[in-house]
Amino acid sequence: MRGWLDSFAIYKDPRVVGVLFLGFSSGLPIMLIASTLSTWLREEDVTRAAIGLFGFAFAPYTFKFAWAPLMDRLPLPPFTTIFGRRRGWMLVSQIGLIVSIFALGQTTPGIDLWWTAFFAVMIAFFSASQDIVIDAYRVEILPEEKLGAGAGVVVLGYRIAMWVATAGALLIAEAAGWSAAYTVMALLVLIGVGTVLSIGEPTQSSTALIDQQVLEEDRLLRQVPKSQLAAFEGVGGLLFAIILFYGAWQPVSTVFGIFSPLAGEWTVAQGIVLLGNLVVTGLGLKLAWQLYSREPGALGHAKNFALIAIAWLALKTLWYALGPWTPFIPALHGAVVLAVLYGISNVVVGAFGAEPFTTEAFLAPVWLTIVGFWVELLALITLYGFTYFSRRAHANFGLVPIAEETSVHLWMRRAVIEPFYDFVKRNGVGIAVTILAFISVYKASDVLLTLMANPFYIDIGFSRAEIAWVSGTFGLWMTLLGGVIGGVLVFRLGLMRSLTVSVVFMATSNLMFLLLSLSGPNFVLFHLVIFVENVSGGLGTTVFVAYLSSLCNIHYTAVQYALLTSFMQLLGKFVIVPSSGFFADALGWEMFFIASTLFALPALLLLWLLQRQGITVEAAEAEARKRR
């Protein structure tokens, strides 16, 4: 017991303390455009429908990986010149936050809602940008054994800031008005500014080291003997998969989008998106033929096509998320993935004797858009990586000398493709896929209750005041306690065993809700339920943040962490959370809580597979030390 208590000394490290205050700066903005802003909007008689549309303001958090390479690679004089790559970009993001939060407070939502929406999106953009750099800084500044402590204090600072931005902002608004409340919140960003000015810049990572690694990787590829390449000549393996995807699957997906009833009624905006899809599909068909025919310049065409297709994919997805008319055309791959999840879900609810789901419950436009986006993005990144790293590409087409690469493609390789390739190369394809699958389902049992907890409390008879106190205030501090315990758990047990403990703890904590549903509105039991649930949630979040941090190469922290966290949200945020209400309706509260614990089984299975493949605590730590 003494050893466990002594472990709390890791929180005295000045680097960990600095990360605590950065966590506060990271957590402050999000609630200012969430519950706090929605309260203000409702007081201004903004319609509930319009308030709901403000959910699109959170899009930058989901798509932050799109500009993470820019923040990872580009200098921004004089900030990066004076303060360094990480601290310079942090300061720029914080200045943007101060201006945007103050400006939001000066708007009048009841008169000109557009400006309120504009500054809400700007806050989300600068907040997501700040998160990119803070996450990279935390991974680079802390040694492996203190990643858990860093994750713990990030959760601590983040949650305190969220409380300040809700309860604190509401109290100030009650006393002095909304403009004063947002002005004070803007000034609180200065805590992050002061932290940046008082901490040091990480020394382990630089763009020069990344460029040197790219050159070394290219040199090794060119030294592969021709005898080893002979076996890769001809169409096969990854080359065959690429030809099949762009020569057959993508055209069929385009036709599916035109004739599928999922598209709904056609609009001018959808017509524009369809035209763009047809152009990209046509270019893909041409590329597939060039690759199949093994034309000498096929790799150059593949890079150009990938760049055009990625730009179009990002543009149409952002148009759907942020722009007017939200044009939507379903992709076949998104529909297939969601249809599989639909089938699995019906098997689960069928096992409990409940009515099956309808297809409309799963094939919603937003889910089809997000899943389709990720499938296409990963396919394009794979195509881009194929042109640089595949031995089959080398054997059939040769490699373009790096000195002859265009500046755009060379930048894409260094900033975007290398982080993907590095992750797959370090882990191997099988393990990399297993890790990504595990990331997607790690918190499945926990996030299933995200939107269902408060409706459950109401249904069994608790008042809004009781929910606010127990779930809101008491629950907040229990989450913070869980976060601190999680940091110590990682320090004592290592990452892999901590992950197993946290998955089991989060899943079994759902059974506490079963006790509450059977007993009715018992105020003492309510406190016990929230204690167990929030401690387990805080612990699980801390352990998971530490795990994601350990997966990043020190040279690519900003891009890899942004990609991992965005991928993490795919299944939970866009499938499990929105479908949780359908599960509750189909099963009833008691069976819903029992079934929710089963959502931990995929994560436990994938953890077991990772350990079977040699991903143990010792191996993970050895690899991390090697990278540093």
Number of domain units in the chain: 2
Q: What is the Cα gyration radius of the chain?
A: 25
> Would you say residue 532 lies in a domain?
yes
Instruction: Enumerate residue ranges in the chain where pLDDT < 50.
Output: 1-2, 4-6, 616-628
407-415: long-range contacts (C-beta < 8 A, 24 or more apart)? 408/307, 409/303, 409/307, 411/73, 412/303, 412/307, 412/384, 413/214, 413/384, 413/388, 414/73, 414/207, 414/210, 414/211, 414/214, 415/69, 415/70, 415/72, 415/73, 415/559
**301 and 400 inside one domain:** yes
**421 and 488 inside one domain:** no
> Would you say residue 619 lies in a domain?
yes
CA distance 316 to 314: 6
pLDDT value of residue 279: 96
Q: How crowded is the C-beta side of 492, counted as CA atoms within 13 Å?
A: 16
> Would you say residue 406 lies in a domain?
yes
**214 and 322 inside one domain:** yes
State the pTM of this model. 0.74
> 144: which DSSP letter?
G
> What sign has the CA pseudo-torsion 242, 243, 244, 250?
positive
> Would you say residue 432 lies in a domain?
no
**596 and 447 inside one domain:** yes
**397 and 449 inside one domain:** no
> Would you say residue 128 lies in a domain?
yes
Query: Cα dist. 183→35, 380, 498 in Å?
Result: 17, 44, 41
**420 and 474 inside one domain:** no
Q: What are 391-420's pLDDT values in tens digits?
A: 888 888 877 766 667 778 877 877 778 788
pLDDT value of residue 627: 44
**406 and 489 inside one domain:** no
Q: Which of 371, 397, 427 is the last residue of a domain?
A: 427
Which residue matches tokens 């493709």?
417
For the chain, the distance separating the N- and C-terminal CA atoms, rounded to the nearest angstrom, is: 32
Q: Which two tokens stand for residue 64?
A: 């932050």
Q: Which amino acid is at 577?
A: V
pLDDT value of residue 621: 45
**457 and 521 inside one domain:** yes
> Would you say residue 148 lies in a domain?
yes
Q: Which two tokens stand for residue 512?
A: 């506490």
Q: How crowded is the C-beta side of 111, counted as CA atoms within 13 Å?
A: 3
| Residue range(s) defining the domain that contains residue 499 | 9-205+439-627
**354 and 320 inside one domain:** yes
CA distance 109 to 186: 18
Q: Kindly give, in sequence order, each residue whose CB lies less than 8 Å from that of residue 309, ignoring residues fewer than 6 positions away.
A: 280, 283, 284, 376, 380
Q: Which of 365, 392, 427 is the last residue of a domain?
A: 427
**406 and 351 inside one domain:** yes
CATH code, domain with 191: 1.20.1250.20
Q: What are 276-285's pLDDT values in tens digits?
A: 999 999 999 9
> Would you say residue 403 lies in a domain?
yes
**128 and 238 inside one domain:** no
Q: Which of 378, 400, 427 is the last residue of a domain?
A: 427
**350 and 241 inside one domain:** yes
> Would you say residue 433 lies in a domain?
no
CA distance 234 to 237: 9
